[in-house]
Structures are given as structure tokens and as C-alpha cells.
Structure 1
Amino acid sequence: MTEMYAPPFAGKVALVTGASSGIGAATARLLAARGAAVAVNYQRSKDRAEELAEELASAGARAMAVQADVTDEAQTRSMVEETEARLGALDVLVLNAAGVRGHEARIAPTVDLAWEDVAFVAERQLKAIFHPVKAVLPGFLERGSGSIVMVGAALARRQAAGFLALALAKSGVEAAVKTLAREVGPRGIRVNGVGPGLILSPIGERMPEAARRAAAERAALRRNGTPEDVAEVIAFLASDHASYLTGEYMLVDGGTAMI
């Protein structure tokens, strides 16, 4: 008799921050398609988030849109409480929200940067990690299980001139992955991360065509990545298929850095 296949996230509940578009939306779709109930977090893009939640629900998933600025502790805590009240205890947290929009991060030679340029990006990025983690950890620790995936950037490993503020912030994401994995691993909780290269998300698509082409030429696969490329890696790391992986920070950059 053929054994029935169980979707990898059947019966699980996932919260994806910054999920109204790009990598976050692709991840929410994939987790839902693989059996998860999904909370689609947004800060400003209410219409897109609600449309995505309706799309997931129409495909048979339990889904909801939930608003919160994840750099705000009270809003983040309320978001987690609302998600668990409506969908059940969380099993998966995907930290995709960066806390800053692309145009808010100043790209310039270091000599032209003010400390405020650096501090703004670093503080909001790290708050977007810290507050959701702090909100979900008590439940994860109580249940002795849970999977966290943080989305950083390849800039944590492959530096580029003029990107000091972003590089410092994204390096902090990788440090958080490894530190937290060491801390909570003995309690049955896994923490991993991904570092995307240039991805054809709404932010990546706004970059000059020459920059996108140059990034593709540097990649071993000779193309830019898509949100779906990154979502596949996130879903793998979040799933029980990666049950013996923690503290990993995987570059999803088409073989550009190869560290």
C-alpha cells in the first residue's frame, strides 16, 4: 500500500514579516502551498497583504493579514498574540522585514556618511529581528520546538563600496542567527538565515538595468535571482527536512561569493 504524502508544513502555523510583496510574499505562498497556516505581516501595504491572504485562503490554506511595524515592540507583541489567537500556536517565524525601505538606506562613500545614516539602518534592521524573536521565543521555549529563519543579504559576506550602513546591518543579522542558534538549540529550537544576492523583487527591479546585468554576470549561474529562488531555501530551512541544521547562513546569490 502506498503511504500518503504529508505536506511538510501540515498542521503548522507560520508568521512571515514583511510579506506583502517580494521574498516575503513568495515565502508565504510556498509555506501555504505546503500545508502551513500563514500570517501575512505588513506595515503599510494593507491592500496587497489582504489580497495575498485571500489568495492563500482561496487555495485552501488558513491565512490572515496582520498589521505591525516590527520595529515597534508593542505592535509586534500584539501581532503575535493576534496570530496565535486566530491561527494557533506558532511553529515557524520568518523574519523578512528589514525595518527600512530601499530608498531610506543611504548608499554613499563612507567619508560622506553621517553617523545618523548608519545608525538609522542598523537600528531599524536589528529591531525588526529582535522584537519578533522576543515575542515568539517564550512560546517556542515552552513547547520545546520552533524554527526561525532570518533574511539578511549577501552583503554580510560579499562587500561592496558605498554600502557600509547596509553591510553593518546585514552582518548583524548573520551574527544574530549564530548567537541565537547557540543559545536556544539545546531547547529544541532551530535558527537559520539566508543572504540573498540581487533579487528581482520590487526593490531589485528598481535598480538600474546596468547594475542588474552586472550582478548577473558576476553570478556563476549568470542570472539574477527571483523571490521564489529565495523562498525555496527559506522553506527548506524552516521545515523538518532541515532538522539537523541550525546556525547556518546560506547565501542565495547564484554562486557569486562561493564562500
Structure 2
Amino acid sequence: MSRGEVADEEGEFGGRVALVTGASRGIGAATARLLAARGARVAVNYHRSADRAQEVVDSIRRRGGHAIPLRADVTDPGQVRDLVAGVTAELGPVDVLVLNAAGLGAHEARIAPATELDWADLERVVTQQLKAFFLTARAVLPGMTERGAGSIVAVGAALARRPAPRFLPLAVAKAGVAAAVRTLALEAGPAGVRVNAVEPGLILTELAAHIPEPQRRAAADRAAVRRNGTPEDVAELIAFAASPRASYLTGGCLLADGGTALA
């Protein structure tokens, strides 16, 4: 929920159930808060950060919203099944799915020139990211198609279309997510389910804390808006893509890089 924003049960997500994976911090947390502020009943998924997830839930409840924390490793098929079953039992069937969890921590993705990487470095990142996307989307799609409605939004990365040196594994993984989004949009569209992605550039989350300040400033200078992005910037685009306002948008990959790609 945005800072100071009180939940509106009659908002555009009123009566809808949203599952946000990887929602204990950063973009996921900002998205969970925003969807709750606009009326959604939100399942805040986390893997390791129970305290952080509870903080997100508490912040939503303080402003009159409805949220619950649910633990699951979204790269584990059994845990994903239990996660979706838990959301359904506690809140109702999933209407909005935000695929934010990457399936691995930032420290697990090696950043180095391709010639210094092993196959295992690439395989680990690509496999975990695509499992996090595929397993969760597959778990909710049958219910959405049966009801004839639903929205899935994946958090990709600008790297999928504008690569950067030393980020080969992540660029390949996020390109795979973009391809999966377009394919699922074709398959699920006739049943009333929309599938989109938001592709952020450099966003000032905890995962970007390892980036030296001069590099962050340089990235801001390259952006047309002359600043770095925030989790709230990305959450707004995710909420738009998931909302009825975007009813004719599917298979889209919305670039959220402040105009960096224009340079």
C-alpha cells in the first residue's frame, strides 16, 4: 500500500483476490500494498523472510486492507500447489497473479563476463527464474480459465531487450520470461485470461544496494527522466496491467526504465 494511502474496498480491485510472489520486500511489497489499497485481498508470498512479509501484511491491515502472509518456495511444485490451495481457502480463488519472485537470491546470480562463467552459472539462473514463473502460472491458470477471467503479470527486466555486459544469465532468463508471457497470452486469451509483463530497468531496491553510488548516478543520468526508478514506480505499472483499465492489453511487455532505452 502506498505510504499514507487508505484501502478502498470499492476500488478497481474490490472483491478480487491477488497473489503476489516474492512480496516481502522491494517491488513485490510495493505491489502488494498498492493492490490492497485499491481493494484487493492480497496473499503476500515469501520464502525466507517471514518477519518482512509480516511487516508488509501489518502495514496493509493498519490502513484497512486485507492481507495474509503465505510461505512457499515457488520453484517447488508441491509448495506451489499448497500455496494456491492456501490462498483459495483463506481468501478465495486467485483473480490476479503477480509473478515477482525470481526463484533465487541476488547473491546466487553470478555477475561476470561470459568467458568467466560456467554452464552451471547460466543453468541455475535460467532454471530457477523460469520455474518460478511456470509453476505458479500453471497452478492458477485452470481456475482462471474455468471462471473465464483473470490477469497474470510477470516482473521481467529491461535486460531482456537491452542487454548489458556481465549479465548474460539474467538477460537470458528474463528473455525467456518475456517469451513465456507472449505464449501464455495466446493460449489463455480466448478463455478471458490476460498475461503481461513489466520490465524494469535499474530500480532502487535492497537488491540494488551492491551497486556503487557513482553507477547509480550514471544510470539516472542516462534515463530520460534523470532519476533511478523506485519499487512504487514499477508497482503502478503492474497494477495498471492487472486492472480492468488494461482489458485490451495482453502479451505486452511494458518497459519501465525511465526512457533509458531511448539513449
TM-score by length of 2: 0.95
Partners of 1:113 and 1:205 lie apart in 2 by 23
- 1:83-122, CA deviations, whole angstroms, 9 ceiling, x for partnerless residues? 1100011100000001111111111111111000000000
Partners of 1:127 and 1:231 lie apart in 2 by 22
Equivalent residue, structure 2, for 1:52:
56
Q: Does 1:109 pair with 2:109? A: no
Unaligned runs of 5+ in 1: none
Deviation at 1:35, TM superposition (A): 0.2
Secondary structure of 2:255 counterpart: strand
TM alignment of 1:56-205, pairs within 5 A: 56-205=60-209
TM alignment of 1:235-246, pairs within 5 A: 235-246=239-250
Unaligned runs of 5+ in 2: 1-8
Q: Which one-letter code corresponds to 1:243 in the other structure?
A: S
Deviation at 1:20, TM superposition (A): 0.2
Equivalent residue, structure 1, for 2:3:
none
Q: Does 1:221 pair with 2:228? A: no
Partners of 1:210 and 1:164 lie apart in 2 by 23
Deviation at 1:56, TM superposition (A): 1.1
Match of 1:32 among 32, 36, 54: 36
Partners of 2:161 and 2:36 lie apart in 1 by 31
Q: Which one-letter code corresponds to 2:154 in the other structure?
A: M
Partners of 1:103 and 1:6 lie apart in 2 by 41
- Tell me the number of residue pairs that the alignment of Structure 1 and Structure 2 aligns: 255
Secondary structure of 1:257 counterpart: helix
Partners of 1:62 and 1:29 lie apart in 2 by 10
Partners of 1:234 and 1:258 lie apart in 2 by 22
Q: Which moved more, 1:36-45 or 1:156-165?
A: 156-165
TM superposition outliers: structure 1 runs of 4+ over 6 Å: none
Tell whether the 8 Å contact from 2:224 to 2:262 is kept in structure 1 after alignment: no
Partners of 1:54 and 1:184 lie apart in 2 by 34
Q: Which one-letter code corresponds to 1:211 in the other structure?
A: Q
Partners of 1:258 and 1:173 lie apart in 2 by 23
Deviation at 1:55, TM superposition (A): 1.8
Deviation at 1:218, TM superposition (A): 1.1
Deviation at 1:18, TM superposition (A): 0.2
Tell whether the 8 Å contact from 1:43 to 1:68 is kept in structure 2 after alignment: yes
Q: Which one-letter code corresponds to 1:183 in the other structure?
A: E
Q: Which one-letter code corresponds to 1:156 in the other structure?
A: A
Equivalent residue, structure 2, for 1:22:
26
Partners of 1:14 and 1:175 lie apart in 2 by 23
Deviation at 1:141, TM superposition (A): 1.1
> Percent of pairs identical after alignment?
63
RMSD: 1.2
Secondary structure of 1:8 counterpart: coil
Deviation at 1:205, TM superposition (A): 2.7
